[in-house]
Structures are given as C-alpha cells and as structure tokens.
C-alpha cells in the first residue's frame, strides 16, 4: 500500500449539488448527480490517498470503506466542512455544483399558495473554491471544475487565475455525452502554465483516472 502513488496524501473532494431551503418542504437545487465527484473519490482512494468526501444530496455510494464521507445539504454546510478539513489537505478537488444563490430568509412554515405570483429574494452564496484558493499555502494543490457553454477555454482560464487554482477541469455542455447526469464526460485540463490537454469522451471513472495522473504530477512539483 505504501507503494501507491498517493499513499499518505490527504485529499478533500466535494461532490454533488447543494440544496438551498426555501421553506421546510422546498428547496432550490440543480441537476448534478455527484457521479464525477464520487468517481474521483474512488480513484483517489484506489491510488492510496486518504480521502474526505464532502457530498451534497446524491444517490451515489462510495466504492471504498476508507473514504470518509460527510453528507451536507446547503452551500453554507459544505463551506464549513471544507474549511475544517482544508488545513490538513495536500490536495482539494472541488467537483460539487454548489448553488450560486440561496434564499435570504427560510420560512419556518410551509409557504401557502395564493392567487398571485411569489418572489423569493436570493443572496449570493460563498464561493468555496475561491475561499480555499485565498487560504492556500505552498505545496497545497487546488483543482476546480468549470462547466461552460460558450468561450469555454477563456472562461476556464479566468477561473483558474481568479480562484488561485493549480488545475482546472473544463467540461463543455456542447459536447454530447459530457456534463451533469451522464456516465461519460469529455474534459480539457488546463494548468497554471496554461498547458492544455484535451481528452476523448470516456467513462467518468476513466476521466477521474486522467485527472488523478495530473494531480499526482502536481503534488510532486
């Protein structure tokens, strides 16, 4: 086991969507299945890493018992868990589709329906990845994801720089079979030197393998 490439490395992974409560029975969410993040957690564990997986609501299960899974619901819950595990992490892979907005107030009773429309006031959530990027110390490797529909590479590079990342995984919704609910994904990896590698459409487990090879190289630098 000690011969595995990521033996002894602490890796923090986020996966899945977050749910932002409107009232006791309703929420704002998104279509993230959690598949990519769980595939990454499994691959990292198989390479010997100590994996902490902070997961939003998802039906996915981990392949390995050794993965420490922490279930969260909201963006705020996910942020707090990430902040507590980040200092000890050698690498972080932020795969979660965190909600960008959350209701300003959460009604404590079910909101009754009326004849008129309904406005829900939203506020921005904290960008977890950017927060960790600001706290990053030498040697820590931070990986983010970008799902874009236009100007993909330009936006991905802007995110890499703005959030102080070491690697960004770009998946385009323009590619058939890539993105949210599929079992396959097609990615381009871009590092800080703006070195770019585009991979073929593959199973998410294989995509996770490609990302982990690059992550292992970055951890060695």
| CB-CB contact of 81 with 54 (8 Å) | yes
Among 89, 146, 205, 208, binds ligand C5P (CB under 6 A): 146
Q: What span, in angstroms and rounded, lies between the C-alpha atoms of 9 and 83?
A: 18
Among 98, 205, 211, 215, binds ligand C5P (CB under 6 A): 98
Q: Is 127 a residue that touches ligand C5P (CB under 6 A)?
A: yes
Considering the complex, state which of residue 39 and residue 75 has its C-beta at the smaller distance from ligand C5P: 75
Q: Is 136 a residue that touches ligand C5P (CB under 6 A)?
A: no
* Cα angle: 60, vertex 61, 67; to 5 degrees: 125
Among 27, 38, 86, 145, binds ligand C5P (CB under 6 A): 145
Number of DSSP helices (H) and strands (E) in the chain, helices first:
5, 14
Stretch that binds ligand C5P, among 25-33, 45-53, 138-146, 205-213 (CB under 6 A): 138-146
Considering the complex, state which of residue 47 and residue 133 has its C-beta at the smaller distance from ligand C5P: 133
Residues classed as catalytic: 30
Residue 145 labelled as part of a binding site: yes
Q: What span, in angstroms and rounded, lies between the C-alpha atoms of 190 and 198?
A: 9
Nearest distance from C-beta of residue 62 to ligand C5P, angstroms: 18
Nearest distance from C-beta of residue 162 to ligand C5P, angstroms: 8
Residue 159 labelled as part of a binding site: yes
Q: Is 159 a residue that touches ligand C5P (CB under 6 A)?
A: yes
φ, ψ of residue 38 in degrees (nearest 5) = -70, -35
Pairing of the two strands 68-71 and 91-94: unpaired
Residue 110 labelled as part of a binding site: yes
Strand partners, 69: 53
Query: Look-up: residue for tokens 């998410």?
Result: 204
Q: Would you put residue 60 in left (φ > 0), alpha (ψ -120 to 50) or beta?
A: beta
Residues that bind ligand C5P (CB under 6 A): 14, 75, 94-96, 98, 125, 127-129, 144-146, 159
């Amino acid at each position: 086991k000690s011969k595995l490439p990521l033996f002894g490395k602490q890796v923090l992974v986020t996966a899945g969507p977050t749910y932002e409560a409107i009232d006791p029975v309703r929420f704002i969410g998104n279509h993230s299945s959690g598949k990519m993040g769980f595939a990454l957690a499994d691959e990292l564990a198989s390479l010997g890493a100590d994996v902490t997986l902070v997961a939003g609501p998802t039906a996915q299960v981990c392949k390995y018992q050794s993965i420490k899974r922490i279930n969260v619901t909201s963006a705020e819950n996910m942020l707090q868990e990430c902040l507590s595990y980040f200092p000890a992490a050698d690498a972080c892979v932020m795969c979660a589709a965190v909600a960008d907005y959350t209701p300003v107030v959460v009604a404590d009773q079910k909101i009754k329906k009326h004849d008129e429309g309904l406005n829900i006031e939203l506020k921005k959530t904290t960008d977890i990845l950017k927060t960790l990027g600001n706290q990053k110390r030498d040697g820590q490797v931070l990986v983010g994801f970008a799902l874009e529909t236009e100007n993909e590479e330009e936006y991905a590079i802007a995110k890499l720089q703005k959030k102080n990342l070491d690697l960004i995984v770009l998946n385009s919704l323009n590619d058939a079979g890539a993105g949210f609910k599929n079992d396959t994904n097609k990615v381009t990896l871009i590092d800080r030197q703006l070195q770019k590698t585009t991979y073929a459409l593959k199973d998410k487990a294989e995509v996770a393998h490609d990302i982990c090879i690059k992550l292992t190289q970055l951890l060695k630098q």
